[in-house]
Amino acid sequence: MKTSTNSAVYVYCVFRAAGRARTIGAPAGVPGATAPELHDIARGTWLATSTVPLDVYGPSNLEPRLRDLDWVAQVACAHEAVNEFFARATGAVVVPMKLFTMFSSLERAIEDVRARRKAIDVVVRRVSGCEEWGIRVTRLAGQEPSGDSSRPTTGAEFLKARKAARDAASTARTTAIVAADTAFDRLKRLSKAANRRSGGTEPGTNPPILEAAFLVPKRARATFTGEARRQTAILAKAGADLTLTGPWPAYSFVGEEA
């Protein structure tokens, strides 16, 4: 791969494979980039990169583009597609890079990865034989209690009805939260590791109650997804909906050290 003063090196992932890695049939890569290429870092360890133009990906040009959510989504999907392609290689263990990980030259990219070999080795051992799955739990539409439909005739009745409605809504939400916590605990038991963040801060009329990621051994995939389906049915009775996504490369379990 050749870079110039008008381009940068975009890094998708570092990965290990049982045999010689290949790019035949690989996705095109991020918008405007050259086709993904592989670089041998050490025996069985590869760096997947593309060359990207600075008039698109340079700092002064990239910042305003980050406000274009459609474009950012295209980049994210292309980035993910490349990582998923290499994750399907025989015996592959992928350490995915964050979106928009770039270097001024291939030499700098390789130098940086080699300097982090010990940290990368730790991550490889952590995620080897595993895949990431995610869940998102939200309240089901139309699940707010309707309360007494009669119209209050006095101020006292109005205040009483308001309090009853608040109490019913609080109880319903608590029921959903408890069910979501139970689902997380049950799925965590089937995982090597799990990360969660509570919902409620996301804008919108129905923010998530829970969002979580799980590092699941591939051999446990059927058991994990079966339990997710069971928890989805339980959550529906509690007035909530569980959405399962995956499998993905282990983005949430790479850690800052790599």
C-alpha closest to that of 250 among 133, 91, 137, 76: 133
pLDDT at 242: 93
**Strand, coil or helix: what is 122?**
helix
Instruction: Report which residue type is found at 86.
Output: F
- What is the Cα 150 distance to its own chain's centre? 46
pLDDT tens string 226-252: 999 999 999 998 889 999 998 988 888
pLDDT at 155: 63
C-alpha closest to that of 31 among 99, 95, 93, 117: 99
pLDDT tens string 152-191: 667 666 565 566 556 455 556 787 888 999 999 999 999 9
Beta-bridge mates of residue 198:
210
Q: Specify whether the CB–CB gap between 181 and 238 falls below 8 A.
A: no
pLDDT at 166: 61
pLDDT at 56: 94
What pTM was computed for the model?
A: 0.73
pLDDT at 88: 84
pLDDT at 143: 55
What residues of the chain score a pLDDT lower than 50?
167, 200-202
Return left, alpha or beta for 198; rule: phi > 0 is left, psi -120 to 50 is alpha, else beta.
beta
pLDDT at 44: 80
pLDDT at 110: 93
